Amino acid sequence: MSRVYLDHNATTPLRAEARDAMLAAMDVVGNPSSVHAEGRAAKMVVERARSQVAGLVGCLPTQVVFTGSATEAAALAVAQKDRHGGRFAALPTEHDCFGDWSEGVPDAMDGPALMAISGANSETGIMQADRRVVAGPSVVCDVTQMVGKVPVEYGDGTPAYMVLSGHKLGGPKGVGALINFTADDPQAILRGGGQEMGRRSGTENVIGIAGFGAAAEAAQQDVEAGKWGRVEKLRNILESALAAASNTTIFVGKDAPRLPNTSCFATPDWKGETQVMQMDLAGFAISAGSACSSGKVKASKVLTAMGLGDVAANAVRVSLGLETTEEDVLRFAEVWAQKLKKHQARAA
Buried b (16+ CB within 10 A) or exposed e, 154-170: eeeebbbbbbbbbbbbb
> Is 292 noted as a catalytic residue in this protein?
yes
CA distance 308 to 314: 10
CA distance 258 to 340: 26
CA distance 146 to 131: 9
CA distance 41 to 23: 15
Buried b (16+ CB within 10 A) or exposed e, 204-229: bbbbbbbbbbbbbbbbbebbeeeebe
CA distance 275 to 147: 29
User: Got the DSSP string for 36-62?
Assistant: SHHHHHHHHHHHHHHHHHHHHHTS-GG
Q: Catalytic residue, from 97, 141, 264, 292: name it.
A: 292
Q: Are 45 and 206 in contact (CB under 8 A)?
A: yes
Enzyme catalytic residues: 292
